[in-house]
A and B are shown apart, each in its own frame.
Chain A
Amino acid sequence: QLQLQESGPGLVKPSETLSLTCSVSGGSISSSGYLWGWIRQPPGKPLEWIGSIYYSGHTYYNPSLNSRVTLSVDTSKNHFSLQLNSVTAADTAVYYCARLVDGYNFLDCWGQGTQVTVSS
């Protein structure tokens, strides 16, 4: 059974970089037919797509975050990562990683989510 697990600091200072990793188990990140993504949910707000990445490293980013976001993938470790630069309090959210079905963009498997708070 495929499982995704987010990891990373729960507290980040303003203007610094938020870094999270999503470890994939029970399946290969190199499987065809899928891509991998990050979604976040600020308190009291809807879910927001951050970006997606293929195992090849090709990426798509939400234009609203494009200049601050970098996704990467490490197939040897079966994980992918998120970096969000120059964070502010508005980036405080629960961050989820998920698997997306290629060609469709619905998310068929999610991680449990990790709370990230931006505060000094």
Chain B
Amino acid sequence: EIVMTQSPATLSVSPGERATLSCRASQSVGSNLAWYQQTPGQAPRLLIYGASTRATGIPARFSGSGSGTEFTLTISSLQSEDFAVYYCQQYNNWPFIFTFGPGTRLDIK
């Protein structure tokens, strides 16, 4: 099973600043990585798939990069609605098991 880790566990950033979140896979997943945002009491929302493709309706301030085992989600200028928990997910071995990272909580500084 591919194990996903995320860092940091919690990130405190001021509105308007840039946030950089990291995700690492225990073995290569190519570009088969997605990012999700979850605000309290809400379902996760797909932000990025294919490591760098924004999902429909996702603002351009969200960008994803990386391949293999190292991935980054960047939020270029934080808005109030961006403070949430972010999860990465690998789906490299379809149709078999896919796994999520433990999440990064993005807090207002």
Point out residues on A near B: beta carbons under 8 Å: 45-49, 52, 60, 62-63, 96, 101, 103-113
B33-79, CB < 8 A from A:
34, 36, 42-46, 49, 55
- Identify which of A46, A63, A101, A107 contacts B97 (C-beta below 8 A): A63
**Which 9 pairs across A and B sit closest by C-beta, in order of nearness?**
A105-B91, A110-B43, A106-B34, A47-B100, A106-B49, A46-B102, A105-B94, A105-B98, A46-B100
How many angstroms from the CA of A109 to the CA of B49 in the assembled complex? 13
CB-defined A-B contacts under 8 Å, sample of 16:
A46-B99, A46-B100, A46-B101, A46-B102, A46-B103, A47-B44, A47-B87, A49-B98, A60-B95, A63-B97, A103-B94, A104-B94, A106-B89, A107-B34, A107-B36, A110-B43
Interface residues on B, range: 20 to 34
- CB-based nearest A residue for B48: A106
Known contacts A46-B4, A47-B44; 18 further A-B pairs (Cβ under 8 A): A46-B87, A46-B101, A46-B103, A47-B100, A49-B97, A49-B98, A52-B95, A63-B97, A96-B44, A101-B49, A104-B91, A104-B94, A105-B98, A106-B34, A106-B46, A106-B91, A107-B34, A108-B55
